[in-house]
Amino acid sequence: MLNALALLASYARASFKGQLAYPGSTILLGLGQFLTNIIDVLAIWLLYDRFGAVKGWAIGEIALFFGLVNISFTIADFISRGFDVFGTDFVRTGAFDRILLRPRSATLQLIGYEFRLTRFGRLLQGIVLIVIATTTLPLHWTAQNIALAAWTVSGAVALFFGLLVLQAVLAFWTVESLEAVNALTYGGIQAAQYPMSLYPDWFRDFLTYVVPLACVAYFPVLVILGRPDPAGAPGWLLPLTPAAGFAFLAASFVAWRVGVGKYTSTGS
Amino acid sequence: MPQILVQDLAKTYRVAERDPGVLGALRGLMRPRWRTVDALQGVSFSLERGELLGFIGPNGAGKSTTIKILSGILRPDGGRVEVDGLVPWRDRVRHVGRIGVVFGQRTQLWWDLPVADGFDLLRDIYRVDPIRYRKTRDELVAMLRLEKLLDQPVRQLSLGQRMRAEIAAAMLHEPAILFLDEPTIGLDAPSKLAVREFVKRLNRETGVTVLLTTHDMHDIEALAERVIVIGHGRVLADSPFEALRANVLAERRLFVDFAGDAPDLALPGVTVRSREGRSLELAFDPRAIGAPALIAAITAGHAVEDIHVEQPAIEEVIARFYDLHGAAEA
């Protein structure tokens, strides 16, 4: 375990060094990301400016959902680049052979593949949103709420990471039509940024039981906001729901093992 | 006990026949049509520690499949492999820590990193003891003349420089076996010579077992004492190269420049391969007529300006061999 962390640190050093060879471009790309993401926020702010509240949700509450989901996704994205580009950069090119030729776990090597510093733009957006939420709402950042927020983020990171692993697993079967999966991943993340009560029941159920995005954002955030679930889930259950993110990640890795087994028996 | 033992290795691929486009891919997922390809049909050989073996064969003959199985990244459908007591695909992580693999077409270094940083990263990946690492690295850097390249990002290296760095990278963890897959592909002539020289020295000085595949017959001629020719998923020959040459294409060539126009020669066991003005190229079987006797016979009747004997080029030997076995490119 310690050994694995030491290796990740070496990978990170190497990755940063490579990116900082062109510091200007890294900073500009990061700022560009921040600006594109902040336009999303502006759009919502304009919406609220026009209509006041949407189905009983204040803008600060939406900002908290958005902020936590974006911070989680940034972290997941930061550590899963190797899985995100697995089909194009590893399966299609045969570079996965190289991974298998090294005496370390493939997961560890794919995490270490690249840590993109340009992702700070999205992180910045997330932080700005949390600040907006804190200043416009009567939010109390008690130790309990901070711990719950951290637990929520960790569950969400696990879930997003799991989604990217599943996307990589599909690449073992087809490197075509991966764009469709990408739309699912990113579309799901978009959907998770809004309160579930805005959605029809079937979609809410999908986001609760199939790809449990609601469990790693909506439900626990309700507790931080001091609101009961409008759909009537018991209050004690809400803070536990981020565990679903870890269950999803575990299931993704079961699929991953099947995929690797398929790869080593067909060689493609 | 040999270091590498391969017995009756068999591998069949199922290849999906797929129509182009997204619709084709979807149809392929729903109702796949399969075609089977027998990549290996009972390959057997063994290798002793410290040997240098050349592996040749046309594309699709089964070379890369064999290398992939031996290096642990592909599971065969049948047969047995043991490398230093390990079954490569079953004990993959332990096995790959003891081998080094260089693919001529792909890099194992990091494109944007200086060579030295890539080496350091490999030290951490392979968990090489730092003191031991420094010693091995310095030796390899000296042997492969990498001093001036260490600070350069890999993407700035020429192909020849990169290949030297790749070989060093594969040796940093002091593997017992080095697999080289087409190590000279695309290199210019001096780089090819350099790579051959290094491989030979590594094999001699470190005792590492080397198994290399190549299309370049000069690699084989310069490097391998022993050659395995593979075709249609079978071992067609396993012998020292000179023995292969003697069995397949024993004939020699005699090039003669006459003082006047080239005469019509009719000697038993000798055929005229080409005639151009005053020059003749003859082919003869040294078992039927020796070179001295042939030269004497020619110079006795004709004024000759120059004369020399050659062996057929290795490409010709191999091409003839494939013809004999019906193993030309599939």
- Condensed to tens digits (0 to 9), the pLDDT of residues B49-86 reads 999 999 888 777 788 899 999 999 999 999 999 999 99
Please count the structural domains in chain B: 2
CA distance to partner chain A, nearest, from residue B296 (Å): 59
Contacts of residue A18 in chain B, CB cutoff 8 Å?
Answer: 110, 112-113
Domain termination residue (choose one: B219, B246, B273): B246
Dihedral sign for Cα A196, A199, A205, A207, please: negative
Range of the domain at B239: 49-246
A108 versus B293: the higher-pLDDT residue is: A108
Q: In this structure, is residue B86 part of a structural domain?
A: yes
Inter-chain touch A103–B25, beta carbons under 8 Å: no
Q: Which of B86, B59, B92, B79 is nearest to B181 (CA)?
A: B59
Contacts of residue A21 in chain B, CB cutoff 8 Å?
Answer: 112, 153
**Residue in chain A lying closest to B121 (CA):** A10
Answer whether residue B218 shows pLDDT above 50.
yes
Domain termination residue (choose one: B224, B246, B268): B246
Nearest to B124 among A10, A97, A176 (CB): A10
Contacts of residue A7 in chain B, CB cutoff 8 Å?
Answer: 124-125
Q: 3-state class of B257 per DSSP? A: strand
The band of A21, judged by pLDDT with boundaries at 50, 70 and 90, is confident
CATH number for position B187: 3.40.50.300
Answer whether residue B328 shows pLDDT above 70.
no
Q: In this structure, is residue B255 part of a structural domain?
A: yes
pLDDT at B313: 72
**Percent of residues, chain A, with pLDDT higher than 70:** 97
B147 and B194 co-located in one domain: yes
Q: Which of B54, B65, B70 is nearest to B3 (CA)?
A: B70
Inter-chain touch A265–B26, beta carbons under 8 Å: no
What gap in Å lies between CA B154 and CA A33, rounded to an integer?
29
For chain A, give the mean pLDDT.
Answer: 88
CA distance to partner chain B, nearest, from residue A187 (Å): 20
Q: In this structure, is residue B22 part of a structural domain?
A: no
Report, as an integer, the average pLDDT of A242-259.
96
B136 and B189 co-located in one domain: yes
Measured over all CA atoms, what is the biggest interatomic distance in chain B, rounded to whole angstroms? 79
* B14 and B35 Cβ atoms separated by less than 8 Å: yes
Q: In this structure, is residue B71 part of a structural domain?
A: yes
Report, as an integer, the average pLDDT of B178-203.
90
Contacts of residue B36 in chain A, CB cutoff 8 Å?
Answer: none
Residues B80-136 pLDDT 10s? 999 999 999 999 999 999 999 998 888 899 888 899 999 999 999 999 999 999 999
CA distance to partner chain A, nearest, from residue B314 (Å): 31
Helices (H) and strands (E) counted in chain A, each on its own, are 12, 0
Q: How far is CA B210 from the centre of its chain?
A: 10
Q: In this structure, is residue B9 part of a structural domain?
A: no
Instruction: Please give the C-alpha separations between residue A52 and each of A48, A64, A193, B249, in angstroms, as whole numbers.
Output: 5, 17, 19, 91
Inter-chain touch B75–A174, beta carbons under 8 Å: no
Point out which residues pair with B16 in neighbouring strands.
B34
B242 and B256 co-located in one domain: no
What gap in Å lies between CA B279 and CA A146, rounded to an integer?
93
B183 and B285 co-located in one domain: no
Q: In this structure, is residue B263 part of a structural domain?
A: yes
B103 and B146 co-located in one domain: yes
Answer whether residue A9 shows pLDDT above 90.
yes
What gap in Å lies between CA B142 and CA B15, rounded to an integer?
46
Inter-chain touch B73–A265, beta carbons under 8 Å: no
pLDDT at A136: 87
B304 and B258 co-located in one domain: yes
pLDDT at A268: 61
Q: 3-state class of B311 per DSSP? A: coil
The band of B28, judged by pLDDT with boundaries at 50, 70 and 90, is low
Q: In this structure, is residue B207 part of a structural domain?
A: yes
Lowest mean pLDDT among A31-40, A61-70, A161-170, A214-223: A31-40
pLDDT at B330: 43
Point out which residues pair with B17 in neighbouring strands.
B33
For chain B, give the mean pLDDT.
Answer: 87
Inter-chain touch B112–A103, beta carbons under 8 Å: no
The band of B169, judged by pLDDT with boundaries at 50, 70 and 90, is very high
Structure ipTM: 0.84
Inter-chain touch B126–A102, beta carbons under 8 Å: yes
Lowest mean pLDDT among A160-164, A168-172, B126-130, B312-316: B312-316
What gap in Å lies between CA A247 and CA A158, rounded to an integer?
9
**Residue in chain A lying closest to B93 (CA):** A103
Q: In this structure, is residue B175 part of a structural domain?
A: yes
Following CA atoms B311, B313, B317, B318 in sequence, which dihedral angle do they give, to the nearest 10 degrees?
A: 160
The band of A267, judged by pLDDT with boundaries at 50, 70 and 90, is low
What gap in Å lies between CA A66 and CA A145, rounded to an integer?
17
B211 and B230 co-located in one domain: yes
pLDDT at A198: 86
Answer whether residue A259 shows pLDDT above 90.
yes
What gap in Å lies between CA B121 and CA B98, rounded to an integer?
17
Q: Which residues contact B43 (CB under 8 A, 6 or more apart)?
A: B6, B8, B9, B10, B62, B66, B79, B230, B233, B234, B235
Cβ atoms < 10 Å from Cβ of A27: 15
Residues B227-280 pLDDT 10s? 898 888 889 888 887 787 777 767 888 898 988 888 887 787 788 888 888 888
Inter-chain touch B124–A6, beta carbons under 8 Å: yes
pLDDT at B327: 54
Pairing relationship of beta strands B99-103 and B270-276 according to DSSP bridges: unpaired
Contacts of residue B182 in chain A, CB cutoff 8 Å?
Answer: none
* B180 and B213 Cβ atoms separated by less than 8 Å: yes
Strands in A53-152 per DSSP E: none
Residue ranges of domains in chain A: 2-266
What gap in Å lies between CA B324 and CA B268, rounded to an integer?
25
pLDDT at A215: 92
Inter-chain touch B25–A177, beta carbons under 8 Å: yes
CA distance to partner chain A, nearest, from residue B57 (Å): 20
CA distance to partner chain A, nearest, from residue B77 (Å): 8
Sheet containing strand B270-276, edge to edge, reads B270-276, B279-284, B252-258, B304-310
